[in-house]
Structure formats: structure tokens, C-alpha cells
Amino acid sequence: MTTLTRASPTEPEPGTGADMAGMAGRYQSDHHDTRNAAWLGLALGVTFTVSFATGLLSHLIQHPFAGFEWLARPAGLYRVTQGLHIATGTAAIPLLVAKLWVVAPQFWGKPVVRNFAHGVERAMLFPLVGGSAFLLVTGTFNTFHFYPWGFFFPTGHYWAAWITIGGLVGHIGAKAGVTWAALRHGDPSKGELAGQASHGSRRWFLSSVAVGSGALTVATVGQTWRPLRSLSVLAPRDPIAGPQGIPVNRSASSAGITKAKVGDAWRLRVHGRGLDQPMEMTLADLRGLPQHHATLPISCVEGWSASATWRGVRVRDLLDHVGAPPGATVRVGSIQKGSRYRQSDLNRAQAGDPDTLLALELNGETLALDHGFPIRLIGPNRPGVQQTKWLNEVEVT
Ligand SMILES: Nc1nc2c(c(=O)[nH]1)N[C@H]1C(S)=C(S)[C@@H](COP(=O)(O)O)O[C@H]1N2
Ligand SMILES: [Mo]
């Protein structure tokens, strides 16, 4: 690596400003360079855009506005989009650290505000930098079920995403010209950074950041992408570790579910619109209905996923059995109390899909209590949070 021989702080330096003296004078590396900033900015732009789009989609699926119907097919699509959400967010962590380091001298540039446009540009760095750091930290903590804060994670993460993306759009608007020029090998001195890394040295620096980002991603993405499972040393989840070969996100005991609550007295209550009267079904009643297999993943919003073979009663068969009107939508409810994940909704496509099951078996065995015994919902292309366990209620809505 070459080291920049920088003018002494008392010697005015065009472009960077003599006034940058103080703090900025501390940045001696030649990597505080406009092309480094441009390449890292580009990589961050891509990873943040993918993570934002997939995160927004996940939010929309879980909180659909009127008229939005998430499709039941392709069955594994959500597994891919949510895997991408976490993988791109993870990849962005080293990129963001590197980018902040590269542009650090600019934070101390003086005058703090040169003109109105510059003031706006600088002000937008607060939502952008603060929001980005917030998203990556809270997102990572969430994958580890670690919540050292007082707010509800999905809400905080969701609104921070809008604030950050607002800052990002503004930042891209402000920096598009200089970034483009730097990437096209225009005159990098047009940027505000004083560093001038040599071509080889920049290549080395950017490759190191890319390797760091790639390594972190490879070390975690095996939680959802099986071929990389053995390399997945930093992932919070091993996708085959758990009862019946599947991880458990909320165990029966932590949800207050005991064997007694799902014993012989357990009934599935089927009620709702278009039904003359509520029906109560026993486990034997459900076993008496036609049983079907489906191989479907649990795709947790936290980024792990695992595929399994489920066996049980088709929701649409149950709807026919109780005489529900065609095209019905459904809400399922759990015996679990006091959790926002104790119920979930099925739109028409999901309720009518032949693979949407009230599962009684997992990988050839009776469902483990931790996986939702006596029955759980499992359907194609649904977030894990919507694969409700320990059901005792099916409501036609
Ligand atoms: N009743 C109930 N069902 C639930 C949950 C819950 O907390 N309560 N967690 C959901 C989440 S977040 C996931 S990822 C899946 C995980 O299913 P598993 O524990 O069988 O792997 O169950 C879902 N079903
Ligand atoms: Mo989940």
C-alpha cells in the first residue's frame, strides 16, 4: 500500500480545503479516495435496495392493504425473498463500515455548511447514516432473538427503513454525478476526498472489503441455503437442528402450551360466515378426512428456512366438509394466549391451494408438541410467522 504524502495542515489544499485542517488532517491513508467511496456506494446502493424491496414485500405480505393478495405460488418464493433480505443486509455491514471509514474526512470538512444545497445534503446524512446503522444493528440482533431495547422490533425496523431509504434517495441524487465520474475514470479530484489511491492499491482495498462482506454472508446464508450449511458458522440457526429435523422458533413451553391443553379434550372449532352452526372436531375426526402430503419450507422472517414433508387435511377440503361458501378466506387461531402470532389469515389463493394443510404429521411422524401438536397450519409461500401452531380454531371470514 502506498501512503499519501499529504500537504501539511497549514498548507492550503484545493478541493479539500485548508480549513479541513484539524480533524481531517488525521486521515493520512490514501484510501480516503473518491473512487473507493464510489464503488462502496454502488455496492451499498444495490444491497440496501434489495434488502429494502424484500423487506417491504415481507411487510406487505403480513399487513396487506385492501386488494393486495399475496400468491400461494411459487411455493418457495418467500423463502428466497426473505433469504435475500437477510443476506443482503448482512453483506451490507462490512460495506457500510468501510464506506464510513473512507468518507470519514468529509464528516469534518469545513465550513460545515457551504450553501443551502450543501446544508440539505449534509442534513440528509443523519437519517441515512443513523438509519442504516440502526437497521443493520436491530436486524442482526433480531436474528439472534436479542432485544436490548424497548420498542417492538418490526415496527421500529419498518419505519427506520423508510427514513433510511429517503436519506439514500437524496444521497444518490446529490452524489450521482461525482460517483458516475469516479466510476467512469473521470477526474476523481472532482470529489471532496483528498486521498488518491493507486490503481493496484485500490484494487487490493476494495477486494479485501468484498472478501469480508462475502465471507460474512457465506458464514450465515447456510441457515436458509442448504448447500452452504456446513460453512454457516456465524448463523444463529442450523436449519436441521431441532425436533423432527426442523428448528423451533417458539417452543411449546415458552408459549404456555402443555400436554394437558392438547389432550383428549382438545377440539378444533370451525365456525364463521356461511356456516349454519359451529362445528367441533376431534383429532380422530380430522384423521378421518382425506390426508395429503406437501413438501414445504418454514421460511422464518429471521432468515432461516427449512423444508419438510407435511401430512394432513387440506384446508379447502375442510371448508367443503363444513359447507363453507366457495372462495372463502380463513383465519386460524391457536390455543396459545397473549401473542400476536397466535392467529393468521389465509387469502382466497392460500385457502384454496391444494398444499395448504392443517398438518398432523411432520416428516412421517406425529407433529412434535414444539412444532404445533395436535395440528398446525402449513401453506406454500407464507412467512414462518403465519404458519400458526397449536390450532384450535378455523374461522371462515
Ligand atoms: N401459535 C404460534 N404459532 C407460531 C409461532 C408462535 O409464536 N405461536 N411462531 C411462528 C414462527 S415465527 C415460525 S418461524 C414458525 C416456526 O415453526 P417451527 O417452530 O415448527 O419451526 O412457527 C410459527 N407459528
Ligand atoms: Mo419466524
Instruction: Indicate whether residue 371 lines ligand 1 (CB < 6 A).
Output: yes
Positive or negative, the Cα torsion across 278, 283, 284, 286?
positive
CA torsion, ordered 313, 318, 320, 325, to nearest 10 deg: -130
Where residue 377 falls (left for φ over 0; alpha for ψ -120 to 50; beta otherwise) is: beta
Give yes or no for a contact between 330 and 343, defined as CB atoms under 8 angstroms apart.
no
Query: Per residue of the chain (397 residues), what is the pLDDT tens digit?
Result: 444 444 444 434 444 444 444 565 678 899 999 999 999 999 999 999 999 999 999 999 999 999 999 999 999 999 999 999 999 999 999 999 999 999 999 988 889 999 999 999 999 999 999 999 999 999 999 999 999 999 999 999 999 999 999 999 999 999 999 999 999 976 656 678 989 999 999 999 999 999 999 999 999 999 999 999 999 999 999 999 999 999 999 999 999 999 999 999 999 999 999 898 899 999 999 999 999 999 999 999 999 999 999 999 999 999 999 999 999 999 999 999 999 999 999 999 999 999 999 999 999 999 999 999 999 999 999 999 999 999 999 999 9
Which secondary-structure segment (H or E) carries 357? strand 357-362
Cα separation, 17 vs 108, whole angstroms? 11
Query: Which residue is closest in CA terms to ligand 1's atom 19?
Result: 248
Q: Which ligand 1 atom is nearest residue 299's CA?
A: 14
Would the CB of 378 count as within 6 Å of ligand 1? no
Distance CA 283, CA 269 (A): 11
Kindly state the cell numbers that stand for 385: 410467522
Q: Is the CB of 255 under 6 A from ligand 1?
A: yes
Q: 387 in ligand 1 pocket by Cβ < 6 Å? A: yes
State residue 22's pLDDT score: 57
Query: Is any atom of ligand 1 closer than 6 Å to the C-beta of 382?
Result: no
Q: What are the cell numbers at 364?
A: 412421517
CB 98 within 8 A of CB 216: no
What DSSP character marks residue 393?
Answer: E
Q: Residue 207: what pLDDT?
A: 98
Ligand 1 atom closest to Cα of residue 251: 19
Of all atoms in ligand 1, which is nearest to the CA of residue 247?
A: 21
List the helix and strand counts (H, then E) for the chain: 11, 10
For ligand 1, is residue 175 a contact (CB within 6 Å)? no
Q: Measured between alpha carbons, how far is 100 from 103 in angstroms, rounded to an integer?
A: 5
In this structure, what C-alpha cell is assigned to residue 325? 361458501
The finding on whether 248 has its CB within 6 A of some atom of ligand 1 is: yes
Nine-digit cell at 27?
A: 486521515
CA 63 – ligand 2 centroid, Å? 15
Which residue, judged by its Cα, is nearest atom 18 of ligand 1?
Answer: 248
- Cα–Cα distance between 257 and 348 in angstroms, integer? 30
In single-letter form, the type of residue at position 11 comes to: E
The rounded Å distance from CA 67 to ligand 2 centre is 25
Mutate to test the pocket of ligand 1, among 307, 389, 390, 391 (most ligand atoms within 8 A of CB): 389
Ligand 1: residue of 82, 304, 385 to mutate (most ligand atoms within 8 A of CB) is 385
CA distance 88 to 103: 22
**Vertex 294, ends 53 and 358: CA angle to 5°?**
90
CA of 121 to the centre of ligand 1 (A): 43
